[in-house]
Chains A and B, each alone.
Chain A
Amino acid sequence: MTSTAVRPVRIIVAKVGLDGHDRGVKVVARALRDAGYEVIYTGLRQTPEMVVDAALQEDAQVIGLSIHSGAHMTLFPAVVQELKRRKATDIVVFGGGIIPDDDIAALKKQGVEKLFTPGTPLQEIVDWLKQRFPAEKS
């Protein structure tokens, strides 16, 4: 890190929905932190409103959502909608979990920029963020 470094990208990582399967989200959070991002993990059972609140309070550029209960088609778009309502659509939303291919296409149409499914190498997530925020990372 240099003294002229731009502020690192700040990421809210959240578990939405009712399930408590947090192995994936924690592994991803650590990997992003190790890659130099500022990571804030919200913990479990966040509603879309809570996630967006946290993102605004923390001035985050990115929201990463994790879900394993099958409710992604309801909850992921609800986060995007909430960002629209709060006029914060500059915040990038990505997600991960057990998400069938057809749903990925539908979610992308609804404003979830990127989805990662089981077996994704951590580096792939880091690479995607680096490419998405090229100038801002020192």
Chain B
Amino acid sequence: MGRSPVKVRARDSKQAWQEDFESSPARDDGIETSTISGIPLKPLYTSGDLPKRPEELPGQYPYTRGIHTSGYRGRLWTMRQFSGFATAEETNRRYKYLLANGQTGLSVAFDMPTLMGQDSDAPTSRGEIGHCGVAIDSLADMETLFDGIPLGDITTSMTINSPAAILLCMYIAVAEEQGVPASTLGGTLQNDILKEFIAQKEFIFPPAPSMRLVVDSIEYCAKEVPKWNTISISGYHIREAGSTAAQELAFTLADGMAYVDACVERGMRIDDFAPRLSFFFDAHIDFFEEIAKFRAARRIWARWMRERYGAQDERSWKLRFHTQTAGVSLTAQQPELNIARTAIEALAAVLGGTQSLHTNAMDEVLALPTDKSARIALRTQQLLAYESGVANTIDPLGGSYFIEALTDEMEKQAESYFKRIEELGGVIPAIEASFFQKEIADAAFQYQRELESKQRIMIGVNDFTVDEEVPIEILRIDPRLEAEQVARVREVRRKRDQARCSKALSELRKAAAGSDNLMPYILESVRAYATEGEIMNTLIEVFGIYTERAVV
């Protein structure tokens, strides 16, 4: 072979770009170019960043590109606005309004006393009744809440955790009264106690009996309410408490595996319950990072379910999730801007392949939404679905150099958290060691520092501020309703069959001390019009309560 003639080789085009980029002027505004969670980003991604792997397709393992073969071509996501306030009667009116405006599923927000398992006439319920959701004390309130809404025709999501089993039983009981068999009911119970210990802090019982109740409800529903999503394993609250996207992803999936472990330990076959596990994520403002998070979540879950847990049923591999846009990204300043923020976040959820979506209303940072702001929020989803064209192509960002690389990065960070959690002995020991709580608090503080130093900008908060705020109309809760709700629960206690109620509660107490599945006992207590507070207090007598070590 002879010497080839010396040629001045043309610069490699990527290298040329790199050199040109480095010599071009850069912005010097001091604003971070990493993701909102701090993942460093390159200015440009190219084919060299594309992971080497067999082509992934929607509806095929590991479902990175979506769990449905037909994406949104087959069916749009469910537009499910979370709503509830004041009394059951008022919330019932709002539900009918939303359904009349084209909403396709209900999602119940309960007030704080209901979430914390106490009746409206408990001393610590004072000032809290009906404020951040609807007050439900007994089956009587639940009957009013769904009055005239046929439970066989809609699906309902209920955001409740410590007392989740009770509220599910109330829903089953209302359905029975409407003549709808439990076996046909569709909907979702949040029922995710682990993220309460980690982030939202609406725990009541200690972790072990809390987990027992979760497993009881999963086991019961697998037989009796087979179309029900028994749990919605939630990253939303973890994120809203200040975590990064990778922490949200990792902690949520770790919780999911902890539930799987607990059910397997109970003796359930994985494919009997795993298809009804569902997830719930936040859609924050950093657009691409969120899309990558959703895609990574599906891939990780599929792999763990198939390879580690040996699930055979494809439905067990598919991570289905609900998304809510990020309440924490909204601002009280110039609140109309929240419509734009929410639209961007909702778009990320849709491009990430969500199964259902809640879009926040612009005034949710100030109070509960008004009819008008609730309608704008819903219309934002309809705009994405019907005007923007984004639902026409399945996983339209699949194959993007950047998205694929970021999806892998999210996956890598999550796997590294799984290792740390395992080293701590699993999710519950990690909770008891305040591991998650500390990680989240650190991330929240870091972000706040970045805002203060203007490395991150929140429009209207630390830049582009205006002096005059335009007052927007907000929804106020009539203070009289507190007394009315207190009177209502007392009347329920007066009117019910006292003997049946006491018997039901005493049998529940006995069962709680043993190892029976508690669902039938709770259902009977509910039917006997035992109040939520009475049922919870009965369980507290046996289970005790949990107190958190406060870490700053």
Q: Footprint of B on A, CB under 8 Å?
A: 17-23, 26-27, 29-31, 33, 39, 41-45, 47, 69-75, 98, 100-101, 117-119, 121-123
> Quick check: which of B123-131, B285-293, B520-528 contacts chain A, the rest being far away?
B123-131
- Say whether A26 contacts B128, CB under 8 Å: no
Digitize B344-386: 1 where CB-to-A-CB distance is under 8 Å, 0 elsewhere: 0000000000000000000001110000000000000000000
Listed residue (B125, B331, B448) with the most chain A CB atoms within 10 angstroms of its CB: B448
Q: Is B112 an interface residue (CB 8 A)?
A: yes
Q: Return B118 CB to nearest CB of chain A, in Å.
A: 8
The 8 Å CB contact of B458, one of A19, A100, A119, is A119
The answer for the CA separation of A67 and B312 in the assembled complex, in Å, is 47
Q: Which residues from A are CB-within-8-Å of B131?
A: 69-71
Which residue of A is nearest B116, CB measured? A18
Question: Assuming A23-B328, A27-B242, A30-B441, what are 16 further A-B pairs, CB within 8 angstroms?
Answer: A17-B112, A18-B115, A19-B202, A21-B240, A23-B441, A26-B441, A26-B445, A26-B552, A27-B445, A27-B448, A42-B550, A70-B477, A71-B128, A73-B127, A98-B332, A121-B451
- Say whether B474 contacts A100, CB under 8 Å: yes
- Say whether B241 contacts A23, CB under 8 Å: yes
Which residue of B is nearest A44, CB measured? B201
> What is the interface of chain B mostly: helix, strand, loop, or mixed?
loop
Listed residue (A18, A19, A98) with the most chain B CB atoms within 10 angstroms of its CB: A18
Q: Which residues from A are CB-within-8-Å of B440?
A: 23
- Say whether A20 contacts B201, CB under 8 Å: yes
The answer for the CA separation of A76 and B387 in the assembled complex, in Å, is 47
Which residue of B is nearest A47, CB measured? B124
Which residue of B is nearest A120, CB measured? B461
Q: Is B229 an interface residue (CB 8 A)?
A: no
A-B contact pairs, 26 of them (CB 8 A): A18-B112, A18-B124, A18-B128, A19-B132, A22-B201, A22-B241, A23-B240, A23-B444, A26-B552, A27-B441, A29-B552, A41-B550, A43-B548, A44-B201, A44-B548, A45-B124, A69-B112, A69-B132, A70-B128, A71-B127, A72-B127, A74-B128, A100-B366, A100-B474, A118-B331, A121-B452
Q: Which residues from A are CB-within-8-Å of B452?
A: 121-123
Which residue of A is nearest B131, CB measured? A70
Q: Which residues from B are CB-within-8-Å of A29?
A: 552
Q: Which residues from B are CB-within-8-Å of A119?
A: 331-333, 458, 460-461
Which residue of B is nearest A121, CB measured? B452
Q: Is B200 an interface residue (CB 8 A)?
A: yes
Listed residue (A17, A21, A41, A70) with the most chain B CB atoms within 10 angstroms of its CB: A70
Q: Which residues from B are CB-within-8-Å of A70?
A: 128, 131-132, 367, 477
Q: Return A115 CB to nearest CB of chain B, in Å.
A: 12
Q: Is B462 an interface residue (CB 8 A)?
A: yes
Q: Which residues from A are CB-within-8-Å of B128?
A: 17-18, 69-71, 74
The answer for the CA separation of A74 and B128 in the assembled complex, in Å, is 8
Q: Which residues from A are CB-within-8-Å of B448?
A: 27, 31, 122
Q: Is B71 an interface residue (CB 8 A)?
A: no
Q: Return B430 CB to nearest CB of chain A, in Å.
A: 18
Q: Return A49 CB to nearest CB of chain B, in Å.
A: 11
Q: Return B494 CB to nearest CB of chain A, in Å.
A: 26
- Say whether A21 contacts B367, CB under 8 Å: no
- Say whether A98 contacts B333, CB under 8 Å: no
The answer for the CA separation of A132 and B336 in the assembled complex, in Å, is 34
Q: Return A83 CB to nearest CB of chain B, in Å.
A: 18
Which residue of A is nearest B482, CB measured? A74
- Say whether B552 contacts A18, CB under 8 Å: no
- Say whether B200 contacts A20, CB under 8 Å: yes
Q: Return A15 CB to nearest CB of chain B, in Å.
A: 9
The answer for the CA separation of A137 and B448 in the assembled complex, in Å, is 24
Q: Which residues from A are CB-within-8-Å of B127?
A: 17, 71-75
Listed residue (B196, B202, B440, B550) with the most chain A CB atoms within 10 angstroms of its CB: B550
The 5 closest A-B pairs by CB, nearest first: A74-B127, A20-B201, A70-B131, A43-B550, A71-B127
- Say whether B126 contacts A74, CB under 8 Å: yes
Q: Is B275 an interface residue (CB 8 A)?
A: no
The answer for the CA separation of A30 and B442 in the assembled complex, in Å, is 10
The 8 Å CB contact of A44, one of B113, B333, B550, is B550
Q: Which residues from A are CB-within-8-Å of B460?
A: 119
Q: Return B472 CB to nearest CB of chain A, in Å.
A: 10
Q: Is B148 an interface residue (CB 8 A)?
A: no
- Say whether A23 contacts B200, CB under 8 Å: no
Listed residue (B331, B444, B552) with the most chain A CB atoms within 10 angstroms of its CB: B552
Q: Which residues from A are CB-within-8-Å of B242?
A: 23, 27
Q: Is B471 an interface residue (CB 8 A)?
A: yes
Listed residue (A21, A23, A45) with the most chain B CB atoms within 10 angstroms of its CB: A23
Q: Which residues from A are CB-within-8-Å of B549?
A: 43
Q: Which residues from A are CB-within-8-Å of B477?
A: 70
Q: Return A97 CB to nearest CB of chain B, in Å.
A: 11
Q: Which residues from A are CB-within-8-Å of B241?
A: 21-23
The answer for the CA separation of A47 and B331 in the assembled complex, in Å, is 29
The 8 Å CB contact of B552, one of A41, A73, A121, is A41
Digitize B217-240: 1 where CB-to-A-CB distance is under 8 Å, 0 elsewhere: 000000000000000000000001
Q: Return A17 CB to nearest CB of chain B, in Å.
A: 6
Which residue of B is nearest A75, CB measured? B127
The answer for the CA separation of A44 and B196 in the assembled complex, in Å, is 13
Q: Which residues from B are CB-within-8-Å of A22?
A: 201, 241
The answer for the CA separation of A27 and B443 in the assembled complex, in Å, is 10
Q: Return B476 CB to nearest CB of chain A, in Å.
A: 8
Q: Which residues from B are CB-within-8-Å of A20?
A: 196, 200-202
Q: Return B508 CB to nearest CB of chain A, in Å.
A: 24
The answer for the CA separation of A5 and B440 in the assembled complex, in Å, is 34
The 8 Å CB contact of A18, one of B113, B366, B367, is B113
Which residue of A is nearest B365, CB measured? A118
Which residue of A is nearest B126, CB measured? A74
- Say whether B365 contacts A71, CB under 8 Å: no
